Structure 1
Amino acid sequence: MEELRKNLHNDTDSKSTNEEEKLEYLEFLKKKIEYHLVLEKYKNLCYSSLGKEYLDSLHPYNVDAQQELSYVAELCDFVRANGYPPADAFIDVRHILQKVADGLLVDGEEFLLLLRFLLGVKSLREMFKNQRLLVLQNSVVNLVLKIGNYDEIIERIKQVIDENGKIKDSASLLLKNIRNEYAETLREIRKRVERFISQHQHLLQEATYTIKNDRYVLPIKANERGKLKGIVHGSSSSGSTLYFEPEELIPLNDKLRILTEEEAKEVARILRELTSKVFDRLQSLLGDIEVLKRLDGLFAKARYVIEKGAQIIIPGGNYLKLSKAKHPLIPEDKVVPIDIELPTDKLGIVITGPNTGGKTVSLKTIALSIILARSGFPVLAGESSRIPNYDVYVDIGDSQNILENLSTFSGHIVNIVRALKLADENSIVLIDELGSGTDPYEGSAIALGIIEELIARRIKFIVTTHLTPVKLYSMSHDKLITASMEFDPETLSPKYRILMNIPGASHAFEIAQKYGLDESILQRAKEHLDEEHVRIDELIKSLNRHISELEERKRELENTLREYQRQKREFEEKYKLLKIKKMEEFDKELREVYKDIQKAKRDLQITLQSKNTESEQLIKKRLKEIEGEVKHIEEVQEKLEKVFYETALSDEEKNIGVGDYVKLIDGTAVGKVIDIKGSKVIVDFNGIKLEVKPEKLKRVATKNIVTSASSQTKPEITNEKRIATKVYSSPLMKNEIDVRGMTVEEAIEKLDEFIDQLLMSDFTTGYIIHGKGTGKLATGIWNYLRHDKRIKNYRFGRPDEGGVGVTVIEI
């Protein structure tokens, strides 16, 4: 047992040490890839220091990246639909709460700032609480709605503090009385001062008063002091003026001082009481600030997605794929996106190519993308990107260290040794210029040894190199991928893109020639190259040239495809809007027709009541006109239902053939299509054959069994019956009604009661949530609203109100 305890203790110590090493290495890694500079890009989008602190705290070992990025995705949808929350919700008031915790008095201006914060928090809660389109189990909604309700504190601060941070007279009855008495005393003092000035103007240096030691005094001539009774409170620097308090002002000044002290005591008492109310909710406030700290950081990430075009990529698996990945520190107009892919069946990538081709930036982009995603940040990459949940170890940049007496080569080796010590199968090692800084022959051997060690331990890696033996090794190994940095042979300039499965040439001679090295020197240099090396290099250059041309063509095709997809989305949106407009035009036409019918009915009534009309010919004519109008309404109604049908159902649901199972779009019974005759479909509903128009049917995947009880048609409810059986419920708490899943008759019955309640409430606008579905329910509701004189106006909801799934009414 003792041995077991020792082993457990050793395992715990080992685990703790390993975590400490990883955290220590993480700080080294962040410096190497300039993570802190990148983090500033996200922090600049925070509302306050709260969010910045939260973002600072995140790293791969203390965050659930999947949950964090899911929150960010939800907030992106929220912001696109509703905009950003109020900034006041994220004011940092922790210094005020610290005063409360320390038992110190919070002053009026601080309470004013606290009020702004609490009102902002309330608005934030209301924004989420009122979102009909958000699912209730949405985790961000739950996170926000856990924030406390501070209405009691808000109301008390409003009662006590004015807009300038001063205590209101109405804060307490005693304070009001004190201030009233103070104002009355002050008026009496000024009244007596004016009387004194008028009576003793010849004794005064100036016909005015001043305040000394919080007392009202008058400036009299020094040589006139003996003529007056009172107290001298000082003199001017020349001594010619004395600041004199007449005897008659002494009791009033004393009273002012007493009232001032009483006011200060009462103000302090009121502030203490208010501070006490905050203290009672202190723990709740501190807990909510931690939630707000996180929300501020999450909104900053959402803003980064929306404004920077970043993608939310949840890390996982063993597949690394970066599509259109950008380095966050390179300006948008200069950055060149990279594409790189390391599948699960491969272990490493060897990238070759000339200097200044972008290899180092590419490695930093890869490292940043992985660390950011694992820390719960969106990254600048394409939607198809995949990021593994790997630890990252690097040797990037110049590793020369004068203080530690390390050469460039030694510095590289120190970094690689450290990476090999910590890395395992759940890691990726990124090495820049592997084997450089020493003799190329020996450097190649060391580089190959390191690569073989990584392969043997099944550690994923990406390395860059100039060394030909490493290129040849990677080309012949089935677990490695050879890649290169794209280079323009015409301009002899890099394109900063990665070409997968293609080795790269160094282009050393071409670059040397471009920058002025003498041709004779280059010719002598070429004589030192063996024929095999020259042949391989020329082959690689030719291959690079062809691949570069293909890549350029590929990019052109991708741009064309993106433009096509953009236009397709634009046309689909316009088509959708045109359908909605068409529905509204049909509805307008119906309303006009109904007006004509009403007019016709009135004319008919007048005709019937007319004593001068003995012939029935005119009556028959009017009836015929009305019948024509009704027929017209039915035609327009049919058009409207057809447009709803075309808009709501998918092509698969509308594509009906013989043998398919279908159901009526406003019913539940399922039948089988046995024949199609012209514009009619013959459907067998369990032995009952019906002829139905196609737009009345919806194709279903399987035959569902529906009980006869559920398929019975409910009797129509007339307006008279509905009025007679109406029961008024409690006062309307919210101005919306959800009728999804109801039949038209059920919905209208509920809607009629809802409109009555709306009329008796303070609301002037109501929201009817009927969903998109087949459009039958929405059509029935619009038919009903069209005849209801209580309704001033109605329309489809805007996108932020639910679109065509919601009808907005005005009463």
Structure 2
Amino acid sequence: MNKINNDELGLDRVRELVASYATTPEAKSLITQMAPKTSLNATTLLLNETAEMVEILQRGLHVPFVSSDSLKPLLQKVSKGLVLSAAELEKVADFIRVNRLLKRFLLRQAQAPILISYGTEIEILTQLEDEIYQKVEHGEVASHADHDLARLRVQVKQINADLKNSLQHLLQSKKYQAALQEKLVVEKDGHYTVPVKANYRKSFPGQVVDVSNHGGTVYMEPTKAANLIARKTQITAQISAIEWQILGMLTAEVFEQLTVIEHNLQIITELDVILARAKYARAIGGTRPDLNTSNELVLREMRHPLLANPVPLSVKIGQPQRGLIITGPNAGGKTITLKTIALSVLMTELGLFLPAEKCQIPVCDHVFSLIGDQQDIDNSLSTFSGEIVKISQIVAQAQKHSLIVLDELGSGTDPNEGSALAIAILQELQLRGCLVIATTHYSAIKDYSVKSPAFMTASMDFDLKKLTPTYKLIMNQAGESRALWIAGRSGMSDRVLKSAAKILKTGELPLAESTVTFKKTIKQASQDLHLHKGDIVFVESLNKEAIFYQKAKTAGKVVVFVEQNFVEVPLKRVRLRRQAKDLYPAGYNLDLLFIKDWQDYKLKKDLNRGSKKAWKKLDE
């Protein structure tokens, strides 16, 4: 099992990229959660699947596939005994049709035996597909699905025509011209009405449905129209009953084949995952990696998959050396090199092709990484302490087929002790047979890598003429950290740089004392932190700003107001940001800063001043 914490290598982002090439939601979800395989056979199978699908795409063939809509919610409805709508049944039929087309397509791919095996597992449900398509059209039950349904729909159509003619005739009739406020039909709550002058309401044949705001107009439904609508409502109810019966019958047939459909969905999802891997391989110009179980890693012109314009990486690690120590300047590409190497292994174990000219990848049972600042404020751990906690876990779990990438191992503490500890850790890991790749600035670690037959050295290239890093890895070379160059580029004074260069060259320490004198002694500032109510402070343990309230009863602690709550925190973790006297005018009521519920505060204030509205609200 691979140990990847906080995705410091970027594997989650790679999975998201691959998932974007999937069609179905089920496949997208599966890809983002997929764990790297840790056996030769499993990884080989994944790569074979990808290779077969890549070859199909390279031949310009179109793989029949389902829409991007998820079928799972529909199948869940069926399993719960709910009736599917006509549109939902049509989606089921579409899925079954694609199953049939995809099976036929895969069985024709003579050069893709694995994909053929997927195709043979797909079960065809032609009868169910035909049954749904015969009785459902364009998202509704087809009229030819039932004789009575067709007859009743014809009647509804005729009623609609009669209703329209009746209303038009009434509007054009001279008999009712004086009674009409306007010549138009207005629908009111399902009733077809005409606007009639209020004083004609008794002489107009119909029923009042609504009255205008001013009362001068009444909306009346003509008697004939009311009779037609009543008849239409009756027939519509009969139509709904027949449609419901047909939908229920079709849903029952889907329920009978639910196990088969769910099995097909699983196969379709797996094929979509393979197709997404193949599309990603084509998009990045990927190459199939060669696998081995002898801990040999060879990358030729490997590009980091998440960078826009990465510098290609070429590296070779294996027999007899199991370790690689990379040196070079800051911002020279050491960390990216570590991530690229680790990602090449993890991507391979996901069945992905690599953006490289050629690559040999060891199948690893674990991939461990130690990259970036390991500081843990919540647990009061420094960078070095956080690093040691994690490296201790790595050492405890590392095995023969483990890949371990370590960035600036041993930093954050005394250089001599840090170097000694780092060398001991590297020695322990290589003795276990692990592949170990580490970056360092420490000379002692560089010397160890040069002298140890188990390690190779490499350096990030540096253009001395242009005084810029090239981000290229040079094998079998121990590089310099270029600290003086970086300091010079950062604006460090020439005198300091010359002094540092002399120290490096001679090893002599500058011991001259300062001749600067002061006229008077400045009193040392008090180390006590004086806080006042309303001061804005930063609380390190919360990593947030808060408002100081008062000292706590517990010694060495204070009470702060943050996110509408009073919290007790250690004083030593509090830093003053802004004083209340600079934020609020003189006489300002600072208690207003610590109100948890403003509505409750306003109600109490209104009650105190005798507000009748407030007392009424309280009674309610």
- The TM-score by the shorter chain falls in which range? 0.7 to 0.9
1:286 match = 262
The yes-or-no answer on 1:392 pairing with 2:367 is yes
Q: 1:60 pairs with 24, 31, 36, which one? A: 36
* Structure 1 residues 250 and 508: CA distance shift in structure 2, 3 A: closer
Q: 1:266 pairs with 195, 219, 242, which one? A: 242
Find the aligned partners of 2:463 and 2:325 in 1 and give their Cα distance.
20
Shift of 1:181: 1.6
SS of 2:141 mapped into structure 1: coil
Deviations 1:468-503 (A, max 9, x none): 122122112222111111111111211112111111
The yes-or-no answer on 1:155 pairing with 2:113 is no
1:226 match = 202
Alignment RMSD, CA only? Answer: 2.5
* Structure 1 residues 531 and 237: CA distance shift in structure 2, 3 A: same
* Structure 2 gap ranges (5+): 509-620
The yes-or-no answer on 1:179 pairing with 2:153 is yes
Deviations 1:72-127 (A, max 9, x none): 10001111124342453554221122222222222233334444434433332333
User: Normalized against structure 2, the TM-score is what?
Assistant: 0.76
* Structure 1 residues 408 and 215: CA distance shift in structure 2, 3 A: closer
Q: How many residues align?
A: 503
Q: 2:301 pairs with 319, 324, 327, which one? A: 324
2:521 match = none
1:538 match = none
Larger deviation, residues 221-230 vs 397-406: 221-230
Q: 1:98 pairs with 72, 76, 81, which one? A: 76
Partner AA of 2:327 in structure 1? T
* Structure 1 gap ranges (5+): 1-21, 534-811
Shift of 1:417: 0.8
The yes-or-no answer on 1:518 pairing with 2:493 is yes
The yes-or-no answer on 1:444 pairing with 2:419 is yes
1:484 match = 459
Find the aligned partners of 2:227 and 2:480 in 1 and give their Cα distance.
101
Whichever structure has more helix as a proportion of its residues is 1
1:6 match = none
Query: How do 1:422-461 and structure 2 match up within 5 A?
Result: 422-461=397-436
2:66 match = 88
Shift of 1:364: 0.9
Partner AA of 1:71 in structure 2? E
Find the aligned partners of 1:416 and 1:229 in 2 and give their Cα distance.
92
Query: How do 1:426-575 and structure 2 match up within 5 A?
Result: 426-529=401-504
Partner AA of 2:117 in structure 1? N
Partner AA of 1:330 in structure 2? L
2:140 match = 166
Shift of 1:532: 9.3
1:798 match = none
* Structure 1 residues 146 and 431: CA distance shift in structure 2, 3 A: same
* Structure 1 residues 175 and 512: CA distance shift in structure 2, 3 A: same
* Structure 1 residues 455 and 195: CA distance shift in structure 2, 3 A: closer
Shift of 1:202: 2.7
Larger deviation, residues 153-162 vs 276-285: 153-162
Shift of 1:167: 2.6
Partner AA of 2:280 in structure 1? Y
Find the aligned partners of 1:326 and 1:511 in 2 and give their Cα distance.
26
1:142 match = 117
Find the aligned partners of 2:141 and 2:19 in 1 and give their Cα distance.
37
Q: Is the 8 A contact 2:290 2:359 kept in 1?
A: no
Deviations 1:717-775 (A, max 9, x none): xxxxxxxxxxxxxxxxxxxxxxxxxxxxxxxxxxxxxxxxxxxxxxxxxxxxxxxxxxx
Find the aligned partners of 2:201 and 2:372 in 1 and give their Cα distance.
87
Query: How do 1:252-401 and structure 2 match up within 5 A?
Result: 252-313=228-289, 315-317=291-293, 318-331=295-308, 334-401=309-376
Percent identity, aligned pairs only? Answer: 30
- Which one has the largest radius of gyration? 1
Larger deviation, residues 206-215 vs 284-293: 206-215
Find the aligned partners of 1:480 and 1:248 in 2 and give their Cα distance.
99
Find the aligned partners of 1:337 and 1:192 in 2 and give their Cα distance.
80
SS of 1:203 mapped into structure 2: coil
SS of 1:226 mapped into structure 2: coil
Shift of 1:173: 0.8
Partner AA of 1:518 in structure 2? S
Shift of 1:431: 1.1
Find the aligned partners of 2:190 and 2:141 in 1 and give their Cα distance.
21
Q: 2:163 pairs with 189, 197, 207, which one? A: 189
Q: Is the 8 A contact 1:90 1:292 kept in 2?
A: no
Find the aligned partners of 2:339 and 2:443 in 1 and give their Cα distance.
24
User: Normalized against structure 1, the TM-score is what?
Assistant: 0.59
Partner AA of 1:367 in structure 2? A
Structure ranking higher on relative contact order (CA contacts 8 Å, 6+ apart):
2
Q: 2:377 pairs with 384, 397, 402, which one? A: 402
Partner AA of 1:173 in structure 2? H
